Amino acid sequence: METGCMTDFSDYNRYVDRFVKTMSPLEDVVCSIILFGSVVHGTVRPGYSDLLDAMVLLDPAVLRSEQIFYRVLDFMVEACKDLSASGLPFHPFGYSILEKSGYTCPANLLLGLTLPQLSKVLGGADVRSRVQTNDSNLHFVRGWFYASRRMTQRRAALLLASADRQNDANRIIRAICKWIKTVPQLACLACNKFADRSEAISTIAELCPEIDAAQLRIFFEIREQPGETFSPGEPLRLLQKVREMNESLAAAVTDRMKRAGEWDQLQDMVAYEPVTVACSTMR
């Protein structure tokens, strides 16, 4: 969500401070609060970047007492209300339990949460070395990348086939923004290379030189333009370009995996022969 309101970087820092203050009475049950994303990297786009990429890791004791859990939930809900009232684009922070074995997160979040240059401990202990992922072989994040490719195909076709194209300018631009926000970063991950969102285009350009990075940057730049500022036909032309880029990116990532020697390993992981899968007949 973008508000486009007059804000600056200090507003973001101010609300991060307020968030920490709101959560401070929970220090007995909060093991750690980790901030990540654009506020840490200093790449905030005031009025466009979201509050709040943060992870609240709770003591397992929280799940042993319903009353303690409700107290924690109350504070987190209050923190969300305060942040959403800021007028800045907002999505709630994450929370989870810090188990004895640590905290496991989706692969796309791992390095953003754990690398010192990409994250910051706002409160509690520095437990970043205990954050891991179950997707260490990247099967699931690659599945996400390839599914994004298929979904983009279909959505682009749906937008292109829609009867009232001119009125769809905003929808088309939103679709392009969503694509550029996620797909280049997923492409990097599929190539086994983490890149922060702001660096994803340059990283994928390094990994896959055949990709037209200049065109990706054009998509990146249009994020701040409202649909009505485009000339008639321009959003559709851009959408066609996104669609072509979407296909090239999928092919480039596969080629990259082949060049990196991962292809044979991947082929060993999939089975074409019958696999033992039970088929329950219960309905």
How far is Cα 37 from Cα 112, in angstroms, rounded to an integer?
A: 7
**In a 10 Å sphere around its CB, with 0-12 CB exposed, 13-18 middle and 19+ buried, how is residue 94 labelled?**
middle
The two structure tokens encoding residue 40: 């840490």
Minimal distance in Å, beta carbon 57 to another protein? 11
Q: With both helix axes pointing from N to C terminus, report the angle between 200-207 and 213-221 in degrees, rounded to the nearest 10.
A: 170
- Please select the residue that binds another protein; options are 6, 66, 100, 228, rule is CB under 8 A: 66
| One-letter-per-residue 3-state SS of 33-79 | EEEECHHHHCCCCCCCCCECCEEEEECHHHHHCHHHHHHHHHHHHHH
Host H or E run for residue 94: strand 94-97
Instruction: Please pick, from the candidates 142, 177, 197, 203, the single residue that binds another protein as defined by CB under 8 A.
Output: 142
Closer to another protein by CB, 115 or 206: give it: 115
Least separation in angstroms between CB 229 and another protein: 26
Of positions 16, 34, 57, 80, contacts another protein by CB under 8 A = 80
Shorter beta-carbon distance to another protein: residue 214 or 282 = 282
Q: Which residues in the 2-61 window bind another protein by CB under 8 A?
A: 55
Instruction: Return the amino acid letter for 221.
Output: E
The DSSP code sequence of 220-258 is: HHGGGS-GGGSPTTHHHHHHHHHHHHHHHHHHHHHHHHH
Q: Which of 5, 61, 125, 147 binds another protein (CB under 8 A)?
A: 147
- The rounded Cα 80 to chain-centroid distance in angstroms is 19
Q: Which of 20, 46, 146, 215: binder of another protein (CB under 8 A)?
A: 146
* Position among 1, 6, 161, 214 found at the interface with another protein (CB under 8 A): 161
Nearer to another protein among residue 113 and residue 173 (C-beta)? 113
Q: How far is the CB of 240 from another protein (least distance, A)?
A: 8
Piece of the chain touching another protein by CB under 8 A; list 2-10, 18-26, 28-36, 143-151: 143-151
Question: Binding residues for another protein, per CB under 8 A?
Answer: 55, 63, 66, 69-70, 73, 76-77, 80-81, 84, 91-97, 99, 104-109, 133-135, 139-144, 146-147, 149-150, 153-154, 156-158, 160-163, 243, 247, 250, 254, 266-283
